[in-house]
Amino acid sequence: MATQEIDELFAQALRGDDDDDEPWEAVSALRRIGTREVFDKAEKWCKSTDPLERARGVQVLAQLGRTAEHPSNNFPEESFIAISQMLAQEKDVRPLSSAIHALGHLDNSEAVPLIVAYHDHQAADVRFAVACALGAFPNHPASVQSLLHLTSDVDHDVRDWAVFGLGVLGDSDSPEIRDAFVARLDDSFEDAREEAMVSLAKRKDQRVLPVLTEKLKAAQDVRFTHDNSGYRGSLFNAGYGAGTERLDGHRLSHCTAKEILTVIAWRRSQSLEKNKSASLGNDNVFCLHPLRHIAECLHDQLRLIEMDPVRALGSDDVPPVL
């Protein structure tokens, strides 16, 4: 691609806000080009006196050359050096957040101590970047401690992504970690509550059952269809249709565990599916919620309900942790 066209894309990246399509289209195009020329200019922008240029420069480097067919950075070591050097001096929230997000994309565990240093930053955007970036290293001991800390953050998006990283993406398990997930079961933010449910179910902690019971009680009617991509479900208040099952009180009729789970997971998975096409674009999107994975996480718990719904759903006692 000609230098003039590359320069035009860099100029476009400076137009509009972070929520606008225009700058992200330019950043995504520059990433796809992924040449040394693009790297050199993005690296130069990381040292700019303009905070927006620094933010856009690091956003380009974060996934330079990454596509669905080529899922790795074209210049990973050089990008890591440029981003980490910028991070060491950065004070402005926008480029600082972008640099932290970028470190989560480079698949270099040396980034972890650089990221966790900001988990108490006063800006929620920076703490959110930490929670997202550490999701790329969910089982690193330092990540586990920082994510555990962030599960009780005052910002709901930070809590949500911290629980998701620690509990859904990660495999670490301890009484303290489980208790942190239990604390989020009544979170004011629904996404955080759902992540906590999946996290506990993944660890086969039966304290998720009472909350799951309430979810099922709240669901009046469930309609299920099936296509090649797997089960899909939606709640609706209208009459019955083909394949419809009714969830009435403690009775689950003959819905399968996987079908019931789609009701719980559907809204969350759909909100992330909307970002699927932008997964190589926006900073904070680098993974999705596969329904199949969530179904497997909760399958054992739901199977208990299918086997004996009266016992599993009718008790006021909290079942013991497995």
Of 240, 239, 288, 238, which Cα lies nearest the Cα of 265? 288
> Taking phi first (over 0 means left), then psi (-120 to 50 degrees means alpha), and beta for anything else, what does residue 204 get?
left
Last residue of a domain, one of 202, 232, 255: 202
Residue 276's Cβ-count burial label (10 Å; 0-12, 13-18, 19+) is exposed
Same domain, 208 and 319: yes
**Domain extent at residue 125:** 108-202
Same domain, 320 and 214: yes
Residue 144's Cβ-count burial label (10 Å; 0-12, 13-18, 19+) is buried
Alpha carbon distances (Å) from 278 to 282, 288, 290: 6, 11, 16
Structurally, the chain folds into a number of domains equal to: 3
Last residue of a domain, one of 182, 202, 222: 202
Q: What CATH number is attached to the domain comprising 158?
A: 1.25.10.10
pLDDT at 202: 85
Residue 145's Cβ-count burial label (10 Å; 0-12, 13-18, 19+) is middle
Same domain, 193 and 208: no
| pLDDT, tens only, 94-118 | 999 999 999 999 999 999 999 999 9
Same domain, 172 and 252: no
Same domain, 211 and 195: no
| pLDDT, tens only, 33-89 | 999 999 999 999 999 999 999 999 999 999 999 988 888 899 999 999 999 999 999
Last residue of a domain, one of 136, 170, 202: 202
pLDDT at 117: 97
pLDDT at 303: 53
Same domain, 93 and 112: no
Same domain, 15 and 71: yes
Q: Give the chain's residues under pLDDT 70.
A: 213, 215-322
Same domain, 208 and 191: no
Helix axes 21-33, 3-12, angle to 10 degrees: 150
Same domain, 51 and 115: no
pTM of the model: 0.74
Among positive and negative, which fits the CA dihedral 199, 201, 202, 205?
Answer: positive
Same domain, 130 and 219: no
